[in-house]
Amino acid sequence: MSRMEALLNLVRPTQRELARQANEEPKGRTRMSGIYELLRRDILECRLKPGVRLRFEELRALYEIGLSPLREALMKLASDGLVVLEEHKGFRVAPVSRSDLLDITFMRKEFDAMGVRLSIEKGDDAWESSILASLHELSKKPKLGPDGLVDAEWEKRHRAFHLTLVSACGSPWMLHFREQLYDQADRYRRLSVQYLREPRDHLAEHREIAEAALARDSDAAVFLIRRHLDRTVQILLAADGVLSAEL
Amino acid sequence: MSRMEALLNLVRPTQRELARQANEEPKGRTRMSGIYELLRRDILECRLKPGVRLRFEELRALYEIGLSPLREALMKLASDGLVVLEEHKGFRVAPVSRSDLLDITFMRKEFDAMGVRLSIEKGDDAWESSILASLHELSKKPKLGPDGLVDAEWEKRHRAFHLTLVSACGSPWMLHFREQLYDQADRYRRLSVQYLREPRDHLAEHREIAEAALARDSDAAVFLIRRHLDRTVQILLAADGVLSAEL
DNA sequence: ATATCTTTTATTTTCGAAAATATTTGACAT
DNA sequence: ATGTCAAATATTTTCGAAAATAAAAGATAT
């Protein structure tokens, strides 16, 4: 095979790939990864409520899937800390607690602070422009949809913006841990503030953070990010009776 | 040598024999968690070498276990970052690289520094005494066994000592992430320094760290811990051709 | 010879039944 | 009523076979 043909083969999808794209399969390729994504979403969005027991017969009927991929997906979710497994007793959706939320927030602040510091130190022009780009996309989407719920697309862009801020840190492990905690925090957020109207100017906060990062002002960026996360957790604690009541 | 024997260059006792050896097997232990521990150990101790393909037929014969618990255990190990899964192509032992080792070390320093700072701030008398206790136990065991290999019991006590230092930090998530990285680092350690004679006074280093922690001198403790971890990684990089060669 | 298309083989993934374990129910005695 | 033990039920866990997919080998045509 000539070099040019080899290149073309890389660029041009094979017939099989085209066929696969045509067929509907937007989820994972195996049943296991498909059900994993589905369960993860349902847990993060609190359709599966904290503490709820996950019986195999129910899940099997609900998601129309066999036992093997189901167990494997739940195992992975257990490693993510989204479900808990008690041996011979089965899986449950991970419980929530005020102390857990505080711990998650504490670690998120540490990760995001460390991440943005390193990114400011190491980030190049591409990093700077990606901040501008993700801030722009975020600003173009209103937070609340027509139904008063937080817009799904906004959440996606919000996640992307905060990831961009730390994306030049150079530590894959940090980004991995950070993402795990972002998921955890997401669940708490959706647990209590589905309909809550916050007296808060998100866009201004995000713009401030982006400006500090672009100005390479580490201390300011860290301060603003920490305050951003603190405000969120304060609102959650104030809004949710269960979380604020617990000692 | 058969393919199966090649996978592990050690004859390993069967599941049944292991159960007999361990006088007390915790009741209600599943086959999945048993095989998980076994695989984890074999990976951490590099009997299953980095990058090796893990075929189900081989594993099934080697560990005398069915497919379901095996897949679940591998799934969990994948979440731990000890194996990688390529869908429809199977599992492999996670590869190693110089950059990964450096990232792991970087994050471990951050975690241990943060952890000991918090522990010094929050730790009570029980924490102080547990430091003394674990240091004492560590000092009573020589690092190298009669065969010149690092003693397994020493490794256990070494792990326990470093855990104790950060155990009063009050953040379960931090301890969780930290442990994951300790495992990862363990694998790199065993990859290259099985027989290496280090010109290094471990006991003195550990005593220094303990003293700084007990004196509630955060800066000193953090400095000593970082130096401790830096020294280890330097030795690993110097010892292992593969790791030091890679760009 | 090279590329493309089948056929064959190797391996992973999934399913449903069987085994193992926990939980509930019911009988019996105090 | 209450506690204990055995049987019955519910649920999880494990197994091996079947289906699905990828990789390798063979065949055909340009």
Nearest to A71 among B72, B81, B100 (CB): B72
* Mutual angle of helices B31-44 and B56-63, in 10-degree steps: 100
Residue nearest to nucleotide C21 (CA to C1'): A88
Of the candidates B113, B97, B106, B107, which has an alpha carbon nearest to the alpha carbon of residue B237? B97
Note the pLDDT of residue A209. Answer: 98
CA A185 vs CA A123, A157, B169: distances in Å? 26, 16, 21
Nucleotides of C under 7 A from a protein CB: 2-3, 5, 11-17, 21-23
With respect to CATH, is domain B98-245 assigned 1.20.120.530?
yes
Note the pLDDT of residue B145. Answer: 86
Phi and psi angles of residue A167, each rounded to the nearest 5 degrees, phi first: -70, -15
CB-to-strand D contacts below 7 angstroms: A 16, 29, 53-57, 67-68, 71, 85, 87-91; B 30-32, 65-69, 72, 88-89
Indicate yes or no: CB of B87 within 8 angstroms of CB of A28: yes
Indicate yes or no: CB of B171 within 8 angstroms of CB of A75: no
Q: Which nucleotide is nearest to A2 (CA to C1')?
A: C2
Taking the whole predicted model, whether its pTM rises above 0.85 is answered as yes
Q: What is the maximum span of chain B, computed from C-alpha positions, in angstroms? A: 57
Tens digit of pLDDT per residue, chain A (247 long)? Answer: 332 333 223 333 333 333 333 333 444 589 999 999 999 999 999 999 999 999 999 999 999 999 999 999 999 999 999 999 999 999 999 999 999 999 999 999 999 999 999 999 999 999 999 999 999 999 999 988 888 888 999 999 999 999 999 999 999 999 999 999 999 999 999 988 666 667 788 999 999 999 999 999 999 999 999 999 999 999 888 887 767 655 4
Of 1.20.1440.230, 2.50.20.20, 1.10.10.10, 3.30.450.90, the CATH number of B3-93 is: 1.10.10.10
Phi and psi angles of residue B86, each rounded to the nearest 5 degrees, phi first: -110, 120
Return the number of CB contacts < 8 Å for A and B: 66
Find the residue in B nearest to A184 (Cα).
B173
- Chain A residues inside the 8 Å CB shell of B29: 87
A3 CB neighbours strand C below 7 A: no
Note the pLDDT of residue B1. Answer: 38
Residue A118 C-alpha, separation from nearest chain B C-alpha, in angstroms: 12
Note the pLDDT of residue A196. Answer: 66
Residue to mutate among B75, B85, B169, with most A CBs inside 10 A, is B75
Find the residue in B nearest to A34 (Cα).
B87
Q: Where are the domains of chain B?
A: 3-93, 98-245
- The span from the CA of B15 to the CA of B20, in Å, is 9
Residue A131 near residue A165, CB atoms below 8 Å: yes
Find the residue in A nearest to B80 (Cα).
A79
> Dihedral of CA A72/A77/A81/A83: which sign?
negative
Nucleotides of D under 7 A from a protein CB: 11-17, 21-23
Residues of A contacting chain B (CB within 8 angstroms): 28-30, 32-33, 68, 71-72, 75-76, 78-81, 87-88, 100, 103-104, 106-107, 110, 114, 170-174, 176-177, 181
Note the pLDDT of residue A192. Answer: 80
Q: Which nucleotide is nearest to A1 (CA to C1')?
A: C2
Supply B71's token pair.
Answer: 């897949």
- Chain A residues inside the 8 Å CB shell of B110: 114
With H, G, I as helix, E, B as strand and everything else as coil, classify residue B85.
strand
Indicate yes or no: CB of A75 within 8 angstroms of CB of B75: yes
Indicate yes or no: CB of B103 within 8 angstroms of CB of A68: no
| CB-count burial class (<10 Å; 0-12, 13-18, 19+) for B175 | middle
Residue A190 CA and nucleotide D12 C1' are separated, in Å, by 31
Indicate yes or no: CB of A88 within 8 angstroms of CB of B114: no
CA A209 vs CA A137, A215, B164, B196: distances in Å? 15, 10, 37, 49
Supply B146's token pair.
Answer: 């009669």
Residue A139 CA and nucleotide C30 C1' are separated, in Å, by 75
- The span from the CA of B165 to the CA of B169, in Å, is 9
pLDDT, tens digit (0-9, with 9 covering 90-100), for B141-196: 998 888 888 899 999 999 999 999 999 999 999 999 999 999 999 999 998 866 66
Helices (H), chain B: 3-7, 15-21, 31-44, 56-63, 67-80, 98-122, 125-139, 152-166, 172-192, 202-214, 218-239, 241-245
Q: Consecutive sets of 10 residues in chain B, 247 residues long: mean pLDDT of each?
A: 42 37 53 97 96 96 95 97 96 96 98 98 98 97 88 95 98 98 96 72 95 98 98 87 63
Find the residue in B nearest to A36 (Cα).
B75
